[in-house]
Amino acid sequence: MLSDTLISLFDRDLNRVIDELNLYQSESNLWKVEGNISNSAGNLALHLIGNLKTYIGKEIGDFSYVRNRDLEFSDKNVLRKTIIAELNDTISITNDSLKNLSDADLQKEYPLLVLGEKTSTQYFLIHLATHLNYHLGQINYHRRLTDR
């Protein structure tokens, strides 16, 4: 079933984000921006948390969450352990939200208009998985560039 695959992918890649954050030699480097790098790893992690808690947790799992997207990119110096705790919470919420989705649920229209056109829930969840993976790559690259 696709929902099982999605749970596996979100779990894997959110844990990879945690691994990346733990690989930073200096916690302050999570927040470094230099040159053409406009988003720190810390802000990208906060953005992924807000994104998934909103679009999966709130909209699919009916979890209570109020997103502040601007703060995801403007907040600075949040402790690494706090971000990791939030990522672990996001893993639980994502898993709980997706575990009861049937194939019929996945074919239904996603409840919000997000990408400029109506999409199925299945399409939007795959989009969210690729969005997570895109930012995971940015975090990895950020770490290798700034954590010297």
**Structure confidence by residue, pLDDT tens digits, 84-128:** 999 999 999 999 999 999 999 999 999 999 999 999 999 999 999
- Token pair in block for residue 56: 């999966």
DSSP conformation class of 54? I
Q: What is the mean pLDDT of residues 64-78?
A: 97
The pLDDT of residue 51? 98
DSSP conformation class of 34? -
What are the backbone dihedrals phi and psi of residue 147, each rounded to the nearest 5 degrees, phi first? -100, 65
The pLDDT of residue 98? 98
Q: How confident is the model at residue 48 (pLDDT cuts 50, 70, 90)?
A: very high
pLDDT averaged over every residue in the chain: 97
Q: What is the mean pLDDT of residues 12-35?
A: 96
3-state SS class at 120 = strand
The pLDDT of residue 7? 98
The pLDDT of residue 147? 87
The pLDDT of residue 146? 93
Q: How confident is the model at residue 20 (pLDDT cuts 50, 70, 90)?
A: very high
CA distances from 35 to 12, 24, 117, 134, 136 (A): 31, 19, 35, 20, 20
